[in-house]
Amino acid sequence: MNTKGHRPEEDSRNELTLHFLDLALELQPRAIFMENVKGLRSTMRGESSYLNEITTRLAASGYDAHFAIMNCADYGVPQLRERLILMATRPNISIEWPTQKYFREPKAWQRPQITVGDVIADLEDPQTHDPVFSHVPMEHKDLVVQRYMLIPEGGRLPDASLPERLRIGYRTLSVRNFSHVYRRLARNRPATTMVPGHNAFPIHPTLPRALTVREAARIQTFPDSMRFVGTRQQQRTLVGNAVPPVLAEVLAQALAKAIKGNARLPGYKADHYELKARA
């Protein structure tokens, strides 16, 4: 949505949410789950937002719809990934929204957020590199490596003080936009959002290279038993686009509990949103 010249209201990919909804309503399940970027709340479709269109259609089909913006780090994912989660159920099924389990500044009885160092520190050793394991570092060009070496842990490329020789690109005379590609993770904090793409994964906390697919998969909470196939680009897209399995498990348990009839009425926090659209 932030790409220069991009007009989300004219992007046909946004219609996928409505195609998904059409399929779900055709099946008439007891519960419907959807994950999307939080920008879905403000992306317009004519006079209304896509989210309002979705919840209105759900209500017209007899569903109660609840949605919230959830930060994955609050539920055991070592990643500050905010996503819109929507769960819709039949009127006789009440969902108890999952409560926060991990905290940035925990009290004595609370669990701290899981960090990047907690999940990838053991993969620094070159002996762990293995193509079958999707753990093979990219061979960056020397100019890129030199830029990486200037980035402090948890920081960005110091654009203002960057030597002129490092401003020159391989395909252009000048590199003007370093964006999130030149951002280094910190070992003692959760990662920034893993996004798909050839060069979009952030930089390793201590090494002058981007994360490998396996390191990103660890941050996404995929088990090591999960194997990714295809080119490096395809594997990065698979990992970056996924709902983190740990978050998926938390939400699946909430849905299962509700469907079994053991859930209490939802008690949402102030920062959670509940929307019951009118037919």
First to last CA, the chain: 30
- Longest alpha-carbon distance in the chain: 66
Average of per-residue pLDDT across 74-100: 94
For residue 169, the SS3 value is coil
Domain total in the chain: 2
Statement to judge: residues 69 and 165 lie in one domain = no
Instruction: Domain of residue 54: give its range.
Output: 8-106+244-274
Q: What are phi and psi of 31, to 5 degrees?
A: -145, 150
196 in a structural domain: yes
Lowest mean pLDDT among 13-27, 36-50, 142-156, 263-277: 263-277
- pLDDT, residue 89, reads 94
Report the CATH number at residue 196.
3.90.120.10
What whole-number distance in Å separates Cα of residue 259 and Cα of residue 43?
A: 31
For residue 83, the SS3 value is strand
Average of per-residue pLDDT across 104-120: 97
Lowest mean pLDDT among 40-49, 142-151, 231-240: 40-49
Lowest mean pLDDT among 41-50, 125-134, 215-224: 41-50
- pLDDT, residue 25, reads 96
What whole-number distance in Å separates Cα of residue 201 and Cα of residue 117?
A: 16
- Statement: residue 171 has pLDDT above 80: no
Average of per-residue pLDDT across 189-194: 93
Average of per-residue pLDDT across 170-182: 58
Statement to judge: residues 236 and 264 lie in one domain = no
3 in a structural domain: no
Please give the residue that has the higher pLDDT: either 276 or 262: 262
Statement to judge: residues 61 and 125 lie in one domain = no
Question: Please, is 86 exposed, middle or buried when counting C-beta atoms within 10 Å of its C-beta (0-12, 13-18, 19+)?
Answer: buried
Do 135 and 213 touch, CB atoms closer than 8 A?
yes
- Statement: residue 13 has pLDDT above 80: no
- pLDDT, residue 8, reads 62
pLDDT tens string 219-259: 999 999 999 999 999 999 999 999 999 999 999 999 999 99
Statement to judge: residues 142 and 204 lie in one domain = yes
Beta strand 82-89 with 64-71: parallel, antiparallel or unpaired? Answer: antiparallel
120 in a structural domain: yes
Statement to judge: residues 65 and 151 lie in one domain = no
Question: Residue 257 corresponds to which tokens in the numbers above?
Answer: 């509990």
CA R_g for the chain: 21
Statement to judge: residues 61 and 157 lie in one domain = no
What percentage of the chain carries pLDDT values higher than 70? Answer: 84
- pLDDT, residue 274, reads 38
279 in a structural domain: no
Q: Residue 102: in which H helix or E strand, if any?
A: strand 102-103
- Statement: residue 178 has pLDDT above 60: no
Closest-CA residue to 63 (of 35, 31, 95) = 31
Do 210 and 201 touch, CB atoms closer than 8 A?
yes
What percentage of the chain carries pLDDT values higher than 90? Answer: 64
- pLDDT, residue 277, reads 36
Average of per-residue pLDDT across 6-13: 69
Statement to judge: residues 87 and 125 lie in one domain = no
211 in a structural domain: yes
Statement to judge: residues 25 and 90 lie in one domain = yes
- Statement: residue 216 has pLDDT above 50: yes
Model confidence, pTM: 0.85
Statement to judge: residues 230 and 266 lie in one domain = no
Residue 76, number of CB atoms within 10 A of its CB: 17
Report the CATH number at residue 17.
3.40.50.150
Statement to judge: residues 60 and 79 lie in one domain = yes
Residue type (1 letter), 177: N
**In the predicted model, what is the mean pLDDT of the chain?**
86
Do 189 and 154 touch, CB atoms closer than 8 A?
yes
| 16-27 vs 50-60: helix crossing angle, rounded to 10 | 10
Statement to judge: residues 83 and 127 lie in one domain = no
Confidence of residue 44 (pLDDT cuts 50, 70, 90): confident
Tokens 């209490």 belong to residue: 264
111 in a structural domain: no
- Statement: residue 114 has pLDDT above 50: yes
197 in a structural domain: yes
Query: Distance from CA of residue 1 to its chain's centroid?
Result: 15
Lowest mean pLDDT among 125-134, 205-214, 256-265: 256-265
Statement to judge: residues 147 and 233 lie in one domain = yes
2 in a structural domain: no
CA distances from 217 to 42, 122, 151 (A): 29, 14, 23
